[in-house]
Structure 1
Amino acid sequence: MIIDLPSTTTSQVNKKMVELRETGGAVALGRVLTLVIVTGDGTETEKAIQAANDASREHPARVIVVARGSKEAAPRLDAQIRIGGDAGASEVVVLRLYGALADEGAGSVVPLLLPDAPVVAWWPTEAPEVPAKDPIGLLSHRRITDAAAEPDPIRFLQSRLESYVEGDTDLSWTRLTSWRAMLTAALDLPPYEAVTSAVVTGAAGSPSTDLLAAWLGAYLEVPVQRVEHPRGPGIVSAELRRPSGSVKIVRPDGKVGTLTQPGQPDRRIALHRREVRDCLAEELRRLDPDEIYEVTLGGLGGIRRTDEPDPEPPRAEQDGSTQEQAEGDA
C-alpha cells in the first residue's frame, strides 16, 4: 500500500502513521532500528528503497528516505508512506524536500525516529565530506557510505581515514567479506608458511581492491602490490607469496574464482560480486565500531600501485627441516 501526502508536514505524516496502526494494524511496532537513507530526487532513490526492503527481511526497520529535490523550487515537503508488500518487512516513509527545505533533512527526520531504537544513516551515492559531522550523521549510531558510487572512488576512500569516527563504514569494505574469508581459510592449510609478500589485482577505480590490499598489508605485515587491471570487474585476483609457492585466487569474470595452492588441486569457488542489499544487510547486523575497517584504512598508504606485478621469486626446496621450521613460524 502506498499513501501519498503532497505538500504536507512531518506532524501530519506522524498522525497518518498512527491512524494506520490504530485502524488496520498495518504498521507493526516490532522494528529494531531506524534506517535513514539520504539521496537525491532521482532514479537512485527507488534502487536504494528496494535494497532496504530486501535487507529489512532480516532487519525489520522504519526506513526514512530523505530525497533532496531542487533548491530552486518553492519550499515544499511531499511525503509518501509505504507499508505491506511495498515495504518488505519494514515501513517506508519517503520525504521529498524542495527549496530551502532541501538542506533541512535532519529537522524532518527527528519527529519520525523510532523511540529508544538505534539509528543508521546510509548515503547510497554521494556522501558528505565528513559523515559524522553531517546533521543526519550526528543523529546516527552507524554511518554507511559507498566509495564505489562516488565520482572519484579512490580519492573518496583515502579521505575516509582523515574523517573516520567510530561507527563509520563503507560498502566497499563489506564487499570484501567473501575474499577475506577465503584467503584466511587458505592460510589455515599446510604448509603453514609465513607470507612474504602479496599482490592484489583489480580495476583502477575499484576501492574494494585497495581495501583488500591494505588489509593484507596491515595484518600480514608484508609488502603489498596493488596492480591495476585494464578491465576488471572489481577485484580480479589476490596472491599471497610464500617460499614453497603462492596461494592465489583468480576471478576474471566477477562470478567464479579459482583457488590455487601448492600441493592441492585447483578448486573453483563461488565469488559473485555482492549485491548492495546483501552488503547493507550485513552492515545492519552490527552497531559497534568496526576496528578492523579502521586499521585497514590506516594501511592504505602502505600499498604500492603498479601496472605489472613483480616476478614471483623461485620456490624454495621443501625438505624436512624446512617444513619443521615453517610450522614453527606459523
Structure 2
Amino acid sequence: MIITLNDTSASKIGAAIVEARRTVGSGSGLVHTLICICDSSHFDAAFDAARDAARQHPSRLLMVVMTRSRKDKLDAEVHAGEGTPGDVIVLRFSGAMANHPASVILPLLLPDSPVIAWWPYSGPADLATDPIGALADRRITDSAADNDPCKALVRRATHLTEGDSDLCWARTTGWRALAAAALDQHPATVKSARVESAANNAPAMLLTAWLRLCLRVPVDRVTTDAPGISAIVMSTPGGDIEIRRRSGRYAVYRIPGEPARGVALDRRNVQMLIGEELRRLDSDKIFTAVMAEIHDEGIATTRDEDQS
C-alpha cells in the first residue's frame, strides 16, 4: 500500500506511518534510519539502490527528494506492505521547504538508533555541517558520481569528519585484498608501484594513496584507455607483482617465479557497495589515514602550482 500526502507536514506523515503499521503490521527489527538525498532527476535510480540497501539491512528509509517546483510545499508517500523493506517514506521538498529539510526529517528518525545519510550523487562540500548531515552518525557520498570525481574526493578529504565515508573506498576493496594477498605470498621488498586507471578516477586516487601509505615507496598513477582501475604493478628486486583486470569479472594475477592465474575481481554495482558500507557503522581508521594522505597531497600540489 502507498499512502499519498500532498502539501503535508511531519506530524501528518508520522500519523500515516502509524496507520500503515496498523494496517500491514509492525515495522519491528529495524536497525537504523537510512536517509537518501537526491534530486528528482535521479530519484528512480537512487530509490532502487536505497530500497535494496534497506532489504540487506532492515531500516526506516527516508528518501529526501529536492524538486524544481517553486511552490513552497512538502509532499510525501508512505510505502508499506508486501515487498516493502521496513518503513519507506518518500519526502518531496519544493520551493523554500527545500532549505529546511532537517526540521521535517528529525521527528521521523527511529529513536535510539543510528542514522546514516547517503548522497548517491553530488553532496555538500562539508557533510558534517550540512543540516541533514548533522543529524547523522554516518555520512556516505560517492565521489565517482560527481562531475569531477577526483576534485570531489579532495574536497571530501579537506572536510573529512569522523563518520564520513565514500563509496569509492568500497570500490577498492577487491584490489586491496589482492595486493595484500600477493605480498603475503611473495614477501619481497617493494621498490616502487603504479596504479593504472582511466583519467579522473577517484577510486584509483584512493588506491594510490593507500599503497603509498602502506609501502612507503613512490607510487605513480598512470592513465589508460581502459575503464576504471585496470592494474596494480609493484616492482620488487625479483620482478614485478602484477594484478591486471581482464574483464568486469576477473583479473590476471602474477608473482615472480610462478605462472599467471585468474582471480575473481568483480566490478560491483552501487547496491553491493552501499551494502558493504552499511555492514560497519564504526569509523574506518585506514580510510581516514588514506584521506589524510590525499589531503596532504592536495595541499602540496596547490603549493607547487602557486610557486610555478
Q: Same fold (TM over 0.5)?
A: yes
> How much has 1:155 moved relative to structure 2?
0.7
1:20, 1:139 → 2: CA distance?
A: 25
Structure 2 residue 183 is matched with structure 1 residue 201 = no
Structure 2 residue 166 is matched with structure 1 residue 167 = no
Structure 2 residue 47 is matched with structure 1 residue 49 = yes
User: Which of 291, 295, 302 is 1:297 aligned to?
Assistant: 291
> How much has 1:10 moved relative to structure 2?
1.4
Secondary structure of 1:66's counterpart equals strand
> How much has 1:86 moved relative to structure 2?
4.6
User: What residue identity is the alignment partner of 2:16?
Assistant: K
1:11-160 alignment runs, 5 A limit: 11-25=11-25, 27-42=26-41, 44-70=42-68, 73-87=70-84, 89-160=85-156
> How much has 1:232 moved relative to structure 2?
2.6
Contact 1:233-1:252 at 8 Å conserved across structures: no
2:20, 2:199 → 1: CA distance?
A: 50
Change (3 A) 1:302 1:102: closer
User: What residue identity is the alignment partner of 2:173?
Assistant: T
Contact 1:240-1:247 at 8 Å conserved across structures: yes
Tell me what 1:316 maps to: none
User: What residue identity is the alignment partner of 2:216?
Assistant: E
- 5+ residue gaps, structure 1, are 306-330
User: What residue identity is the alignment partner of 1:17?
Assistant: I
2:55, 2:62 → 1: CA distance?
A: 16
1:306-321 alignment runs, 5 A limit: none
User: What residue identity is the alignment partner of 1:153?
Assistant: P
Tell me what 1:264 maps to: 258
Secondary structure of 1:144's counterpart equals strand
Tell me what 2:184 maps to: 188
Deviations 1:273-308 (A, max 9, x none): 111111111111111111111111122355999xxx
User: What residue identity is the alignment partner of 1:79?
Assistant: A
User: What residue identity is the alignment partner of 2:5?
Assistant: L
Deviations 1:190-214 (A, max 9, x none): 3x21111110010112100111011
1:91, 1:233 → 2: CA distance?
A: 37
1:69, 1:23 → 2: CA distance?
A: 30
1:161, 1:101 → 2: CA distance?
A: 30
Contact 1:200-1:239 at 8 Å conserved across structures: yes
**Bigger Rg, structure 1 or 2:** 1
Deviations 1:89-131 (A, max 9, x none): 3321000010100111111101100000000000011100100
Tell me what 1:227 maps to: 222
User: Which of 227, 234, 245 is 1:251 aligned to?
Assistant: 245
Considering only aligned residues, what root-mean-square deviation do their CA atoms show, in Å? 1.7
> How much has 1:85 moved relative to structure 2?
4.1
User: What residue identity is the alignment partner of 2:111?
Assistant: P
Q: How many residues align?
A: 299
User: What residue identity is the alignment partner of 1:138?
Assistant: A
Secondary structure of 2:268's counterpart equals coil
Tell me what 2:235 maps to: 241
Tell me what 1:312 maps to: none
1:83, 1:244 → 2: CA distance?
A: 61
- 5+ residue gaps, structure 2, are 302-308
1:272, 1:233 → 2: CA distance?
A: 13
> How much has 1:269 moved relative to structure 2?
1.5
> How much has 1:252 moved relative to structure 2?
4.2
Deviations 1:240-274 (A, max 9, x none): 11110111111143332110111222111221211
Deviations 1:70-92 (A, max 9, x none): 2x5211111011223453x3321
1:138, 1:262 → 2: CA distance?
A: 50
Structure 2 residue 244 is matched with structure 1 residue 215 = no
Tell me what 1:311 maps to: none
1:18, 1:34 → 2: CA distance?
A: 16
Q: Percent identity among equivalent residues?
A: 42
